Amino acid sequence: MPKPAILSGMGYWLVQHDIEAYWDRPDAIGSLKARALRDRNFRQIRKGDKIVYYAKQKRTLGLYQISSEQWVELKNWSKGRKGPHMAYEIKPVVTTISEIDLPDFDIATTRGRTVIELTKEQYRKIATHILGMGDPENHEATVALFAKLHRACGFPKLLKIGEAYPDITAIDENGHEVGVEVEFESATFEREHISEADKCDLIVCWRDTWGRAATKPVVELAGILY
């Protein structure tokens, strides 16, 4: 069986499924095996790629990331969708039903296609539409973006968002409280809060400019979103 092509750089895709396929398997995208083997775009998807999940009828179900190393073969997609399918596992970046008119993003048609390759700029414009905001340019906008992406960052719940340091108290996937300081650029933390670093567990930023010198774990939202 052919394997997906190995390409360099991030891939961005619009994946078209019926809404019923999502309800059957919200953690995967797929295609009938015979179609998948013919579909060059489907074969080129790889781990880490970002996708727009398009559920037809001018609506999306959000932004997702490919989480499986390569595709897997399923005997059936679901009880109601028989036949061998090839599938990739996905994890959500942000899940929300959003109305979308594809021609506004230079996508003329999706007829007969499961996977459509997007440019990064197309993906960025669709992400802005789904999120209701563009890329942050300051601390306050970075806080607002984290509030939309906190689940993708590993925090199912935010307990408190305020002005006092640290900015946010969140609950992580193990149920523990975590003090989160938000910065537009991570290196700002070193300049402004290094003397009280023990009061914070994690830095969330739009861009990680601190890098290897960081003394705290850093989550970069730009990397999660794009």
Q: What are phi and psi of 4, to 5 degrees?
A: -60, 145
Helix H or strand E encompassing 19: helix 19-24
* Model pLDDT for residues 28-68, shown as the tens digit of each residue: 999 999 999 999 999 999 999 999 999 988 899 999 999 99
186, 203 Cβ separation under 8 angstroms: yes
pTM: 0.90
- Model pLDDT for residues 159-199, shown as the tens digit of each residue: 999 888 999 999 999 999 999 999 999 999 988 888 888 89
Residue in the structure block whose two tokens are 């670093």: 197
Q: Where are the alpha helices (DSSP H) in 115-163?
A: 120-131, 139-149
Domains of the chain: 12-131 (3.10.590.10), 139-225 (3.40.1350)
